[in-house]
């Protein structure tokens, strides 16, 4: 890894204590950035702190669905590191795993408050810094925002919203030199995916299913997504904006493998 790729940069990273966010925190910091990790769980923040042992990482307990808390977290980040160059909106929730009509009002509202409104809050309160520093915004979306998913209506709706929002934000802020992109994974082994898999009717078959939906033949860990995120927030992607980048192992090319070569009919 180029340890100077993000030298001198400050990253505000939501949901950075586990899964994709945790791996991003590691690669951003290793590439030279200072990182402020935001999570709504003090326990999760402490666990990340114990596991990272890195210099240049600050931790703030914040619920990104609450405007005042996000504003305070951004002010604290600026107080600690002096500026913000990059905002990575990674925090998200997936529950419930249910159809639209089985989803309660509270579940629906919470999903949109965290997954979509959180982006509104971080952008609103960090925009002055991003304009000043010609910064970058990265959103963590999902392939299911494009193709849908059974028993996950509200969650996929939030991810579809993130894809559209990313493109609109890219147009709105391009004149200020701000790039806005998203990553769209398919399956990735994170604690959230493990929780989802346990809610499925065919939970004993999920691992094989998740391997088989990817053309490359396996469901990856979070590091492969973090590497793509590092590229998008760095100057190596300096002429890329409004992109929703699939990091999917080819899942969108054919969502299930039906036959292996040695099983084909003759």
Question: Does an H or E element contain 180, and which?
Answer: strand 179-185
Question: Distances from the Cα of 256 to the Cαs of 114, 230, 249, in angstroms?
Answer: 30, 29, 12
At 103-116, the pLDDT tens digits run: 999 999 999 999 99
Q: Which sign, positive or negative, has the C-alpha torsion 21, 83, 236, 169? A: positive
Cβ distance 58 to 77 under 8 Å?
yes
| Beta strands 10-14; 86-89: pairing state | parallel
DSSP string, 237-250: GTT--S-EEEESTT
Q: How far is CA 146 from CA 139, 149, 223, 245, in A?
A: 15, 9, 23, 12
* 8 Å CB contact between 166 and 184: no
| Residue 194, pLDDT score | 66
State CA 171 to chain mean position distance.
20
Confidence of residue 198 (pLDDT cuts 50, 70, 90): low
To the query of whether residue 209 is one of the catalytic residues in this protein, the response is: no
Q: What predicted TM-score, i.e. pTM, was given to this entire model?
A: 0.90
13 and 88 in contact (C-beta within 8 Å)?
A: yes
- So what's the pLDDT on residue 260? 42
User: 84: which DSSP letter?
Assistant: -
**Collapsing DSSP states into helix, strand and coil, what is residue 222?**
coil
**In terms of pLDDT, which residue wins out, 214 or 141?**
141
CATH level 3 topology of 10-192+221-247: Rossmann fold (3.40.50)
Higher pLDDT, 256 or 107: 107
* Residue with more model confidence, 263 or 202: 202
SS3 35: strand
Identify the active-site residue in 155, 173, 209, 255: 155
Domain boundaries, the chain: 10-192+221-247
| Residues 118, 91 contacting (CB under 8 angstroms) | yes
| Bond before 205 cis per omega within 30 degrees | no
């Amino acid at each position: 890894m180029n340890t100077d790729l993000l030298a001198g940069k400050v990253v505000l990273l939501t949901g950075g204590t586990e899964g994709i966010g945790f791996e991003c925190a590691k690669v951003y910091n290793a590439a030279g950035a200072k990182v402020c990790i935001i999570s709504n769980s003090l326990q999760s923040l402490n666990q990340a702190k114990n596991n990272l042992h890195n210099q240049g990482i600050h931790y703030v307990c914040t619920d990104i669905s609450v405007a005042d808390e996000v504003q305070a977290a951004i002010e604290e980040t600026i107080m600690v590191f002096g500026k913000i160059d990059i905002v990575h909106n990674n925090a998200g929730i997936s529950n419930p795993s249910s159809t639209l009509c089985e989803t309660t009002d509270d579940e629906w509202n919470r999903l949109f408050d965290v997954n979509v409104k959180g982006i509104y809050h971080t952008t609103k309160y960090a925009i002055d810094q991003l304009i000043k520093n010609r910064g970058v915004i990265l959103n963590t979306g999902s392939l299911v925002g494009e193709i849908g998913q059974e028993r996950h209506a509200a969650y996929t709706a939030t991810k579809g919203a993130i894809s559209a929002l990313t493109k609109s934000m890219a147009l709105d802020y391009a004149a200020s030199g701000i790039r806005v992109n998203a990553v769209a994974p398919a399956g990735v082994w994170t604690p959230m995916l493990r929780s989802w898999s346990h809610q499925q009717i065919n939970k004993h078959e999920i691992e094989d299913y998740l391997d088989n939906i990817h053309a490359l033949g396996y469901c990856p860990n979070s590091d492969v997504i973090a590497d793509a995120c590092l590229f998008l927030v760095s100057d190596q992607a300096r002429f890329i904006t409004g992109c929703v980048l699939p990091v999917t192992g080819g899942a969108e090319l054919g969502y299930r493998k039906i036959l292996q070569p040695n099983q084909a009919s003759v």
